[in-house]
C-alpha cells in the first residue's frame, strides 16, 4: 500500500450504454468528467472504452488493454463482472463506481453505493496513494455439452454453442437463486432491492427440486461426490446477493476458497419465512434446512433424478447451461480501494469467520452441524 507514481498513466472507463434506458451512459460521462478533472491535477489521462453494448464494451476493454493502467467500471454487479473479465489475473487494478440495482460486490467491500462523487474521490485517492486489495474470483468453464448464452438476455449465443469461460466476482447461481435473478432482471419495479424481494416471494411459491451431481475438492483437499436434489444451489465468492441478502455469510474475498450453499429439501412456508429473515441478518446458515461446504473446485452436472436445472447466472448476468466446472482463483482481481477499506479488509480474518461458523453450530471442515 505504498505511494506509487501516477504520472504518465492512463485510466480507462467502461460502462453499459444500454442500461436503464441510457442512464448508465449518462453516469459514465459524468464519471469521465470527474476523473479528467482529477487527472489534470494528478497527471493521469482518461479514456473511454465503452462499446455499443455490454458484450462490445467487454471486447473493447480487453482489446485496448495495452492502452491503460487502471480500469474503472461504472454500474452494478454486472459491470463489476465485466471489469473482472477484462482485467482479471492481469494485475491491473479495477475501480468500481457502484450505481446498479444490487451492488453486492461493492457492498461486500464497503465501497460507496449509488454515490458517484464519493466513489470517484475514493478511486482517485487509491490511484494517488497506490492502495488496493487482491481478491479471489470464481472461474466457470464448460464441461462437454455445456454451453454459454447471451449475457444480456439469456438467448443462445450462436448455433455453434460456444463454451463457457468466464470469471465471476460474487456468486454463481444454479437453482432457485438463478430463477430469482432472472425474474428480478425482468421486473418493472423501480428499486433493485424491491425487485429482488418481490422475485423471492414469487419463486418461493413455485419451487422445484433440481437435480445436480457434484464432484468437489474440499478445503482440506479431500474429494466428495454426490447427488444434490435441491431447489437452491450456489457457488459463492462473496456474502451478498440481491441488494444485501446474505446467502453466504461465511464467504471471504481472500481465502482462496468458494462456498457451496444449498437447500437440503423443499422448505415449507414456515421455513421459507425463517430463511428470509435469517438471510437479512447474516444467519442463514444457522438453519438446518441449508447445506454448506468450502470448496477449491467443483464440477456440477445433471443428476438422473430431479427437475432440469435452470440457466446459470453469475453476478446478475446470464452465463449458460450445465455441465460446468468452477475453480477458485486466489487473489485474481486487484481492486482500487481507499486506505480505510484496505485496512478493514485486512482485518477480516479467518478467525472471525470461524467464530461465525461456531456460532451457527457447524463444523468448519465438514460443514455439518455438530449437534
- pLDDT number for residue 8: 82
Average of per-residue pLDDT across 213-236: 97
| CATH node for 137-330+349-359 | 2.60.200.40
What does the alpha-carbon distance between residue 257 and residue 216 come to, in Å, rounded to a whole number? Answer: 12
| 319 three-state secondary structure | strand
Average of per-residue pLDDT across 141-154: 88
| 315 three-state secondary structure | coil
Q: Are 184 and 208 in contact (CB under 8 A)?
A: no
What does the alpha-carbon distance between residue 84 and residue 150 come to, in Å, rounded to a whole number? Answer: 18
Domain 9-130 listed as CATH 1.10.150.110: no
Lookup: cell for 228: 444434490
What does the alpha-carbon distance between residue 123 and residue 96 come to, in Å, rounded to a whole number? Answer: 8
- pLDDT number for residue 131: 95
What does the alpha-carbon distance between residue 104 and residue 238 come to, in Å, rounded to a whole number? Answer: 8
Per-residue pLDDT tens for 297-336?
999 999 999 999 999 999 988 999 999 999 999 999 999 9
Residue 266 has pLDDT above 70, yes or no: yes
What does the alpha-carbon distance between residue 342 and residue 335 come to, in Å, rounded to a whole number? Answer: 10
Which of 59-65's residues contact partners 24+ apart within 8 Å by CB, and which partners?
A: 60/14, 61/12, 61/14, 61/86, 61/87, 62/86, 64/12, 65/90, 65/92
| Confidence tier at 213 by pLDDT (50, 70, 90) | very high
pTM (2 d.p.) = 0.91
Maximum C-alpha span of the chain:
62
Domain spans in the chain, listed from the N-terminal domain onward: 9-130, 137-330+349-359
Amino acid at each position: 500500500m505504498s505511494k506509487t507514481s501516477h504520472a504518465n498513466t492512463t485510466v480507462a472507463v467502461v460502462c453499459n450504454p444500454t442500461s436503464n434506458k441510457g442512464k448508465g451512459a449518462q453516469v459514465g460521462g459524468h464519471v469521465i468528467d470527474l476523473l479528467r478533472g482529477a487527472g489534470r491535477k494528478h497527471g493521469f489521462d482518461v479514456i473511454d472504452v465503452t462499446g455499443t453494448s455490454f458484450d462490445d464494451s467487454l471486447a473493447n476493454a480487453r482489446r485496448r488493454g495495452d492502452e491503460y493502467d487502471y480500469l474503472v467500471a461504472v454500474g452494478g454487479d454486472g459491470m463489476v463482472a465485466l471489469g473482472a473479465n477484462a482485467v482479471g489475473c492481469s494485475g491491473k487494478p479495477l475501480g468500481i463506481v457502484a450505481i446498479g440495482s444490487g451492488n453486492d460486490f461493492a457492498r461486500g467491500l464497503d465501497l460507496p453505493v449509488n454515490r458517484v462523487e464519493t466513489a470517484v474521490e475514493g478511486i482517485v485517492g487509491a490511484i494517488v496513494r497506490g492502495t488496493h486489495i487482491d481478491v479471489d474470483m470464481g472461474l466457470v468453464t464448460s464441461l462437454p455439452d455445456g454451453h454459454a448464452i447471451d449475457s444480456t438476455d439469456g438467448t443462445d449465443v450462436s448455433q455453434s454453442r460456444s463454451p463457457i469461460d468466464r470469471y465471476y466476482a460474487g456468486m454463481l447461481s444454479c437453482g432457485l437463486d438463478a430463477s430469482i435473478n432472472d425474474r428480478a432482471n425482468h421486473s418493472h419495479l423501480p428499486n433493485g432491492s424491491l425487485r429482488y424481494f418481490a422475485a423471492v416471494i414469487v419463486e418461493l411459491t413455485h419451487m422445484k427440486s433440481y437435480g445436480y451431481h457434484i464432484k468437489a475438492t474440499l478445503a482440506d483437499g479431500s474429494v466428495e461426490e454426490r447427488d444434490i436434489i435441491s431447489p437452491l444451489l450456489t457457488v459463492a465468492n462473496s456474502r451478498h446477493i440481491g441488494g444485501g441478502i446474505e446467502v453466504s455469510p461465511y464467504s471471504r474475498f481472500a481465502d482462496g476458497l468458494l462456498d457451496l450453499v444449498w437447500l437440503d429439501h423443499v422448505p415449507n412456508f414456515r421455513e421459507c419465512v425463517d430463511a428470509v429473515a435469517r438471510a437479512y441478518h447474516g444467519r442463514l446458515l444457522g438453519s438446518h434446512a441449508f447445506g454448506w461446504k468450502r470448496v477449491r473446485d467443483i464440477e456440477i452436472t445433471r443428476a438422473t433424478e430431479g427437475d432440469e436445472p435452470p440457466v446459470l447466472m453469475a453476478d446478475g448476468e446470464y452465463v449458460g447451461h450445465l455441465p460446468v466446472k468452477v475453480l477458485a482463483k486466489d487473489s485474481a482481481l486487484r481492486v482500487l480501494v481507499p486506505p480505510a477499506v484496505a485496512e478493514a479488509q485486512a482485518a477480516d480474518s479467518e478467525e472471525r469467520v470461524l467464530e461465525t461458523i461456531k456460532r451457527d453450530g457447524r463444523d468448519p471442515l465438514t460443514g455439518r452441524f455438530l449437534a
